[in-house]
Amino acid sequence: MKKRNGMLFGAHVSIAGGLGNAPKRAHDLGCECFQIFTRPPHGGKAPLWDTFTAQRFQDECAKYGFTRWYIHTPYILNLASLNNKTRYGSMSIIKEDLQRANLIGAAMVVTHLGSANAYEMNETLAKTAEGITKILDGYSGNALLLMEFAAGAGNIIGSSIEQMKIILERVDDKYLRYLKICLDTAHVFASGIDLRTKADARAFLKEFDREIGLSRLAYIHANDSKVGLGEKKDRHEHLGKGKIGLECFRTFVGNARERSLQGVDMVVETPTLEGMKKDIALLKKMRK
């Protein structure tokens, strides 16, 4: 695979049967980069990874020409939980996934932040920032930590540019070089931000740049949405088959050509393997 400095396209793939199986699965889908879980996404013990496991994985990545891969933390985390076992357990898992990312050479670790069930939102955002600061205290690895945009269901954390900005402002400045943002198009749309036209998508990027800075946008989950604008549900659909449509993705890929999103990879988390393959092929076509 030819190495590119611009936007790469890929998918979330399984590590079933062992970490070393992921690169071939990604290759078979036509990926240029890929994302994995390190453990069951809805809870469970992480498999043991040692230097041998990591080397085999990296050898497989080299075999198939991959230069960038990513980790996603489990869905069960909550950095603002009133339950200290949940809160500190969430911090521990994110710390461990950062360690695992550095072990296997992953570029970034993407995490959901949790929900504001215990506190009002302003205090929740402060608790979340405090948790991130604790996670990054003493950290000196190469992998970045990415906060993922949420769909906005209930009191979920991180479903607006404003909330992300507040968290960034409250994290200790010395850790900000390790902290970036992952944009999920389905989540952004479900939270109430329109992305359906080129003008809509550009307006969102312009607002993001004004309030946070596009330099903080490090990664994109490219998912269409089964639900409509502002319905606040996390339901992914294949590109062009959902309520967002294709202009959003054409605009983002176009911005990569214009350099504002260059190097910001896009990974699909859509429902079927065959559909993922088509989604990746479609994004590659847009790049041309």
- When pLDDT is averaged across residues 205-216 and rounded to a whole number, the result is 96
C-alpha atoms less than 13 angstroms from C-alpha of 198 in its C-beta half-sphere? 5
Q: What is the CATH number of the domain that holds 176?
A: 3.20.20.150
- When pLDDT is averaged across residues 264-271 and rounded to a whole number, the result is 98
- When pLDDT is averaged across residues 274-286 and rounded to a whole number, the result is 97
Q: How many CB atoms lie within 10 A of CB 149?
A: 29
pLDDT at 1 over 50: no
Q: What is the pLDDT of residue 288?
A: 85
Cα torsion 43, 183, 150, 244: sign: negative
Q: Is residue 42 part of a domain?
A: yes
Q: What is the pLDDT of residue 120?
A: 86
pLDDT confidence band for 118 (50 / 70 / 90):
low
Q: Is residue 37 part of a domain?
A: yes
pLDDT in tens, 147-174: 999 998 878 999 999 999 999 999 999 9
Q: Is residue 123 part of a domain?
A: yes
The amino acid that residue 252 corresponds to is F
Distance CA 3, CA 241 (A): 30
State the alpha helices, DSSP H only, in 229-272. 247-257
- b vs e for 195-218, b when ≥16 Cβ sit within 10 Å of the residue's Cβ? beeeebbbebbeebeeebebebbb
pLDDT in tens, 176-185: 999 999 999 9
Closest CA to 7 of 68, 50, 81: 68
* Rounded percentage of the chain residues whose pLDDT exceeds 90: 89
pLDDT at 29 over 70: yes
Which tokens hold the place of 287?
A: 């790049």
Higher confidence at residue 127 or residue 1? 127
- When pLDDT is averaged across residues 20-39 and rounded to a whole number, the result is 98
Mean pLDDT of the chain: 94
pLDDT confidence band for 260 (50 / 70 / 90):
confident
Higher confidence at residue 82 or residue 269? 269
* Antiparallel, parallel or unpaired: β 236-237 and 217-221: unpaired
- When pLDDT is averaged across residues 23-45 and rounded to a whole number, the result is 96
Q: How many CB atoms lie within 10 A of CB 182?
A: 27
- pTM of the entire predicted model: 0.95
Domain limits at 215?
9-287
Element (H, E) at 27: helix 22-28
- When pLDDT is averaged across residues 213-239 and rounded to a whole number, the result is 97
- When pLDDT is averaged across residues 18-30 and rounded to a whole number, the result is 98
Q: Is residue 271 part of a domain?
A: yes
Q: Is residue 1 part of a domain?
A: no
- Distances, alpha carbon 175 to alpha carbons 138, 165, 171, 179, 203, in Å: 9, 15, 7, 7, 29
Q: Is residue 3 part of a domain?
A: no
pLDDT confidence band for 3 (50 / 70 / 90):
very low
Q: Is residue 72 part of a domain?
A: yes
Domain total in the chain: 1
pLDDT confidence band for 53 (50 / 70 / 90):
very high
Q: Is residue 162 part of a domain?
A: yes
pLDDT confidence band for 2 (50 / 70 / 90):
very low
